[in-house]
Structures are given as C-alpha cells and as structure tokens.
C-alpha cells in the first residue's frame, strides 16, 4: 500500500468530460490488480479536502492508467492537470475483480456503463492473458459517451455497445444487450461496473439466470484504506445484513451478497 | 541542539505532543503501512462501546468547504473483540494507546471501563461524552454540566486508569462543562469533538446524509476549536488536549500557544495517512528554527496585552 507523492502524468487524452491519464509509477503498479482503485489528491491545498477514488484502468509493467469523468469540483480540478505534472496518490486499495476460485470462469461477460467502463479494460486484458474468453458490453447515453470503445477494439477485444438514444449500436440500456447475450450463449460469470440502477438490474438478471456476478460498488470515501468507516454498503450476512466497508471488503462483491437500498 | 519535544500530561509523559484523534485513525493498525507509530506521542483508537455497534446507514460522509461532515454512528467491534484481536498487536508498538470509551447509557460506559480495566497496554481512557451521531439531534452527556459531572464521577470511580473527558462544542458555554468535568475528577480534558452540521442536495431537496445531521471536522472548524481550547485551558488546571482542523505543525503550535499541552490530529489522517508523524516533525523544525529548547515552553504563552 504505497504512497507516491509525485506521480508523473506521462500521457493525457481527453474526450469532452472524459479524461485518461497514464502514469509512470513502479511503486504503485507493483502488484496492482483489476478492480482495485487509487486515492488521488486533486489539489495541493485543503480545497477540496478529501482524495478522490479512481479505478485502475490499465496497467503495463511500471505504468498505470486511470480513466475518469468529470462529476463535480474534484474531478474537474483533476481534469485540468497536464502532461508532465505530478499527482499525489495512495494505493492501490481494495479487492480484485477476478474471484479466487481454482478454475478461471469462462466465458466472461463484462458489463460497463458510462464511467463504469474504467476498471473493465484492465480486467479484460488480464482475463485475456489468463486464457478466459471475454466479451465486453459497453453502454453510454449516446455515440460520444463511448470514448474508450476503440481502445477495446484495438486491443482485439470483443466489444458490443449500446446507447440510450440509439445513436450508436444497440438502442437501449446495456442490460438489454446483456439479456440478448445470455440468450446467445450463457456466460460463466459477469463482471459489472456502472451506475447503481444498471448494476442492480444486472444483479437481478444474474440472479434469475443463476449466473455468478462480480459487481464493483461505489460510495463516498473518506480515506480509502479502512480507517473512517464512511464508505459502507449493506452486505448479506447469515440471515440478515451488515454495513461493510467498500474500500477494504470491496469495492467488488458477489452480486448475491449485495443488499440494494430501497430508496433510489 | 535537538529540542525536547516531550509533552507532560501530568499522569503521563508523551514522546511528543501529537496524538491521533479518535475515529480518524481506526484501531491504529490500519496506519502501520504508512507510518512508524512510535514516531508520535500516541494514538486514540476509534470509539468503543461495550458491545459491537451497527452504525448509521449511508451516506455517512459529505465533504463541505474545508471540512467533512460525518455520521458514522460509531460502528465498531466492541471492547471484547478489540481486546482479543487488536490490543495484543498494539502492545507490540512503542506508543501510548488511549481508548475512546462510548456508551448509550452511563451503565454502558462503566461496563466498558470495567472490562478494559482488566486489559494491559492502555495508557488512559478518553471518555467520549460528546459524540453527536448516536442519539437524535446530537444529544450527549457533554451538552450539560450535570450529566457531564455525573458520568465523569462514576467513570473515575470505576476506572483504574486516568480518565480524559472529551468535550462537545455544541454548547453555549463550554467552560461550564469543562469545569464540571474537572470537578468530577477528570484527569484531563480533550476538545473539540465535531460540530453538529448538515448539508442539502438542492436537486432532490434531501439531506446529503442519511442521518440528516452529522459532525463537522477539518480545517473549517479550526478557528472555533482554537477559541474553545483557549477558553477552557484558561479556566481549568487539568491538562488540556486540543484538536480541530490540525493539518500542519503550524496549526498544532497555535493550539500549544493557547494552552493545550498536547494535540490530536483527526481528519488530516484521511488525506495524508502519515500526517501525525509529519506534523510532529514540523513542530520539531519550528522549535529548532526558533531556538526553542523545550516545546512545553510554548504552552499557554499567548500574549494578549
Ligand atoms: C472505488 C471507486 C472507484 C471509482 N472509479 C472511478 C473511475 O475510474 N472513473 C471515474 O470517473 N469515477 C470513478 N469513481 C467515482 C469518483 O470517485 C467520483 O465521481 C468522484 O469522487 C466525484 O468527486 P467530485 O469532487 O468531482 O464530485 P463531488 O462534487 O464530490 O460530487 C459529485 C457527485 O459525485 C458523488 N460522489 C462524490 N464522491 C464520490 C465517490 N467517492 N464515489 C461515488 N460518487 C461520489 C456525489 O455524491 C455527487 O453526486 C469511483 C468511485 C469509487 C468509490
Ligand atoms: C469519521 C470521524 C469519526 C469520528 N469518530 C469519533 C469517535 O469515535 N470518538 C470521538 O470521540 N470522536 C470522533 N470523531 C471526532 C474526532 O476525534 C475529532 O474530535 C474531530 O474530528 C475534530 O478534529 P479534526 O478536525 O482534526 O478532525 C470522529 C471524527 C470523524 C471525522
Ligand atoms: S473510505 Fe474510509 S473506511 Fe472506507
């Protein structure tokens, strides 16, 4: 769990609200696994105060990538950083996507919505390397909301897209794509990251078809490393549930362990 | 010449005046990967009830300008599990361990103290009479002199260790409460706990915390916390431990000048998990730079004439 106070941005790409940084950071890259995240300082001053959690998007030897969407003040400041500038980063934290089972489940279907696609690139590359068959389903609002589609294609990954407005690919939600994919060929496992309603719907589909699913949850984080108890979600335990820390026990959980909140 | 950084709490000498604030440092071990815990004066562990606690539903945190509002609700493992699983590891570390003791009733505080009395490796109890997140509307004993007096008195009688009372800022006159705690026999006072606060989402018109209210901490509260530390330190004889928004060595020095013998670093630990050790280092640099031989000589040196 290292701390690198001066991680240099060696490459930056931007598409509207979406940005990608590549870092050269052997300290943080060592042992980093798909599903884990970094805690990034977005300002040198106490405004904003807290670090922001951002998933690992890609890894190559000594370099890491993050891919993020501007969601408020903190991510807007982050987006202003330029190539050659440095960032203060802690991590990586959290549990990995790939389950600790003896045999690697295959075929795997990866379902990502919006910025939720971020961790799925690293995961797809890793699964590919490990020998799993991988299919990626990527949903966005419209054609311009799918900035990393080509990156998956260039890496030779099988990817299908959906847009809410029908301007590209399947017209509708990515969960619609998932339902037709399951009819075509039943996956051995789902890996999911996206907005809450999409993850919840995916969990329902997975439960109905009895397909194991790994879901990456989000929540407000005070620290990222288990010290504040601020990031909890309801996780099943025995007959009931308990508040478990996303940063330490997650962010990835088995779908059937997640108790979704009643209120949206 | 290296300055003498020791802080004297009367009942205990600390390596340096920097402690970590309860609830912002987990049970201590979470920070081992980032910091050598023997570099700081001591740690105050997360608030413990006698039994395990569920805590509040999320969202439990919201960031506001220069601060953080939390409504964790003291989720935790309880004293038994703490003693079995955490304390043995903390005993291996060369640092003073303070246990922040909570209770939903006076009896529950006493039950926790009685259990902890039988454990080794604890320097003192910090009685959390001031958590705003447990009862409705932030109610807690530290809101009145009478409940404060009654609880501190019983805790002192039950305890075989020094007892520090942690005061709430959510009162009209904190000095009155501080005096009640001192009269009841508290060996020290620590302040401030968080300020009762809220934030609203204007799109949904919902509170940003599920609990509606939470406690504000961080740099935003420092001026208020410093003022209260000054008022209390000027009015009592027992040692005062100041906290609220300390991010740097300079912030901590301000607290010493107004009369705190030691400080606690809270929210800063989340942003910089080595903050407490860094702050102790910055305080040392300040003393060296100013030619101050003993950091304790700064305590209560505010000039107001
Ligand atoms: C484990 C994890 C991994 C993440 N990975 C990525 C990623 O790879 N790419 C990406 O674009 N985003 C990611 N996020 C979300 C990202 O952390 C938030 O968008 C960001 O913290 C918002 O900060 P802000 O200051 O821009 O917005 P704020 O002004 O703080 O808030 C804007 C909105 O975002 C919500 N928000 C604030 N903090 C968080 C948070 N920590 N998690 C979720 N929502 C939050 C607020 O409730 C509000 O609705 C991740 C979140 C988590 C928990
Ligand atoms: C997330 C969080 C949890 C806290 N939990 C406790 C607690 O269990 N017991 C307690 O006495 N104070 C608790 N506090 C209050 C802090 O110990 C401290 O009094 C307060 O945060 C002010 O210091 P700061 O501004 O440096 O954070 C908590 C504060 C935060 C932010
Ligand atoms: S973010 Fe602090 S405990 Fe999870």
Residue by residue, what is the 3-state secondary structure of A53-103? Answer: EEECCEEECCEEEEEEECCCHHHHHHHCCCCCCEEEEEEEECCCCCCCCCC
Q: What is the pLDDT of residue A264?
A: 44
Q: What is the DSSP letter of A179?
A: H
Q: Which residue has the tokens 């005061």?
A: B167
| Residues B7, B19 contacting (CB under 8 angstroms) | no
CA distances to A34, A59, A168, A258 from A62, rounded to whole Å, are: 15, 8, 35, 34
For range A96-110, the mean pLDDT: 92
Provide the 3-class DSSP secondary structure of residue B58.
coil
Q: Is the pLDDT of residue A216 over 80?
A: yes
Mean pLDDT of B104-124: 93
| pLDDT value for B263 | 98
A241 CB near ligand 3 (under 6 Å):
no
What is chain A's alpha carbon radius of gyration, rounded to the nearest angstrom? 18
List the domains of chain B with CATH numbers.
Answer: 7-55+73-194+218-298 (3.20.20.70)
Interface confidence, given as ipTM, is: 0.93
* Segment A81-95 mean pLDDT: 96
Short-list B182, B209, B187, B184, CA closest to B198 = B209
Taking residues B79-105, report their average pLDDT.
93
Alpha-carbon distances, residue B275 vs A212, B34, B272 (angstroms): 42, 10, 5
pLDDT number for residue B105: 84
When pLDDT is averaged across residues B256-276 and rounded to a whole number, the result is: 97
Tokens of B112: 């926790």
Nearest alpha carbon to residue A174 among A140, A206, A124: A140
Residue pLDDT, tens place only, A6-50: 999 999 999 999 999 999 999 899 989 999 999 999 998 889 999
Residue B133 pLDDT > 70, yes or no? no
d(CA B2, CA B300): 22
Overall residue count recorded for chain B in this entry: 305
- How close does chain A come to B96, measured CA to CA in Å? 19
Query: E strands within B5-153?
Result: 7-8, 13-14, 18-20, 42-48, 61-64, 67-70, 96-101, 124-128
Report how far residue A234's alpha carbon sits from residue B144's, in angstroms, rounded to the nearest whole number: 36
Is the pLDDT reported for residue A244 higher than 60? yes
Cβ-based burial of B237 (10 A; exposed 0-12, middle 13-18, buried ≥19)? exposed
Q: How far is B31 from chain A (nearest CA, A)?
A: 8
Whether B209 and B198 have beta carbons less than 8 Å apart is answered as: yes
Give pLDDT tens digits for B178-216.
Answer: 999 999 999 999 999 999 999 999 999 999 999 999 999
**Domain map of chain A by residue range?**
3-93
> Nearest by CB to A220, which of B24, B57, B62?
B62
Which ligand has the minimum distance to the alpha carbon of residue A77?
1
pLDDT, averaged across chain A: 94
Average pLDDT for A120-125: 97
Q: Find out whether the beta carbon of A215 lies less than 6 Å from any atom of ligand 1.
A: no
Where in the sequence numbering do the catalytic residues of B fall? Answer: 131
Q: How far apart are CA A98 and CA A116, in angstroms?
A: 16
Alpha-helical (H) ranges within chain B are 78-81, 87-91, 106-117, 145-158, 174-183, 222-235, 249-257, 268-271, 275-290
Closest partner CB to A227 (pick from B60, B66, B270): B270
Q: Residue A101 burial by CB count (10 A; 0-12/13-18/19+): exposed, middle or buried? A: exposed
What is residue B106's predicted lDDT score, i.e. its pLDDT? Answer: 86
Is any ligand 1 atom within 6 A of the Cβ of residue A149? Answer: no
**CA distances to A62, A118, A156, B20 from B24, in Å:** 32, 30, 46, 7
Contacts with B31 from chain A: Cβ below 8 Å: 227
The CATH class given to the A3-93 domain equals mainly beta
Tally the C-alpha atoms within 13 A of residue B100's C-alpha that lie toward its C-beta: 30
Q: Is residue B132 over pLDDT 70?
A: no
Number of H helices, E strands in chain B: 9, 16
Those residues whose C-beta lies under 8 Å from the C-beta of residue A30, and which sit 6 or more positions away, are none
């Amino acid at each position: 769990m290292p701390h690198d106070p001066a991680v240099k941005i060696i490459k930056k790409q931007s598409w509207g609200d979406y940005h990608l940084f590549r870092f050269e950071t052997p300290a943080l890259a060592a042992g980093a696994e798909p599903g884990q995240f970094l805690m990034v300082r977005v300002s040198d001053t106490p405004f904003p105060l807290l670090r922001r959690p951002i998933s690992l998007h890609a890894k190559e030897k000594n370099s890491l990538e993050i891919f993020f969407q501007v969601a408020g003040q903190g991510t807007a400041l982050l987006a202003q950083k330029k190539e050659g500038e440095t960032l203060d980063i802690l991590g990586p934290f959290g549990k990995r996507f790939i389950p600790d089972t003896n045999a690697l489940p295959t075929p795997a279907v990866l379902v990502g919505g919006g910025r939720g696609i971020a961790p799925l690139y690293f995961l797809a590359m890793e699964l590919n390397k490990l020998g799993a068959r991988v299919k990626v389903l990527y949903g966005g609002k419209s054609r311009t909301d799918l900035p990393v589609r080509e990156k998956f294609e260039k890496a030779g990954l099988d990817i299908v897209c959906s847009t809410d407005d029908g301007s590209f690919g399947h017209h509708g939600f990515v969960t619609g794509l998932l339902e037709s994919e399951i009819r075509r060929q039943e996956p051995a496992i789902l890996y999911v990251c996206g907005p809450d309603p999409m993850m919840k719907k995916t969990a329902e589909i997975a439960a109905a078809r009895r397909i194991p699913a790994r879901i990456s949850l989000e929540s407000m984080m005070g620290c990222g490393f288990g010290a504040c108890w601020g990031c909890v979600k309801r996780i099943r335990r025995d007959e009931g549930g308990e508040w478990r820390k996303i940063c330490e026990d997650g962010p990835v959980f088995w779908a059937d362990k997640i108790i979704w909140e009643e209120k949206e | 010449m290296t300055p003498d950084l020791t802080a004297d709490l009367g009942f205990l000498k600390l390596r340096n005046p920097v402690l970590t604030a309860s609830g912002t440092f987990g049970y201590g071990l979470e920070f081992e990967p980032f910091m050598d815990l023997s570099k700081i004066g001591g740690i105050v562990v997360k608030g413990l009830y006698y039994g395990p606690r569920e805590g509040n539903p999320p969202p439990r945190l919201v960031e506001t300008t220069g601060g953080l509002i939390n409504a964790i609700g003291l989720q935790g493992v309880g004293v038994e599990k703490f003693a079995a699983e955490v304390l043995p590891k903390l005993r291996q570390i060369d640092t003073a361990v303070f246990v922040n003791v909570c209770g939903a009733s006076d009896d529950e505080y006493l039950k926790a103290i009685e259990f902890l009395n039988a454990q080794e490796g604890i320097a003192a109890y910090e009685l959390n009479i001031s958590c705003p997140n447990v009862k409705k509307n932030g109610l807690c004993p530290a809101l009145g002199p009478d409940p404060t007096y009654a609880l501190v008195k019983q805790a002192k009688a039950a305890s075989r260790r020094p007892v520090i009372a942690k005061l709430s800022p959510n009162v009209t006159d904190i000095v009155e409460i501080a005096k009640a705690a001192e009269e009841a026999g508290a060996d020290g006072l620590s302040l401030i706990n968080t300020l009762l606060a809220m934030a609203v989402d204007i799109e949904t018109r919902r509170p940003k915390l599920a609990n509606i209210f939470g406690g504000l901490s961080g740099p935003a509260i420092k001026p208020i916390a410093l003022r209260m530390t000054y008022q209390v330190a000027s009015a009592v004889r027992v040692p005062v431990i100041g906290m609220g928004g300390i991010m740097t060595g300079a912030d901590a020095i301000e607290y010493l000048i107004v009369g705190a013998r030691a400080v606690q670093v809270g929210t800063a630990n989340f942003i910089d998990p080595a903050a407490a050790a860094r702050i102790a280092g910055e305080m040392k640099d300040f003393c060296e730079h100013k030619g101050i031989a003993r950091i304790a000589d700064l305590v209560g040196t505010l000039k107001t004439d």
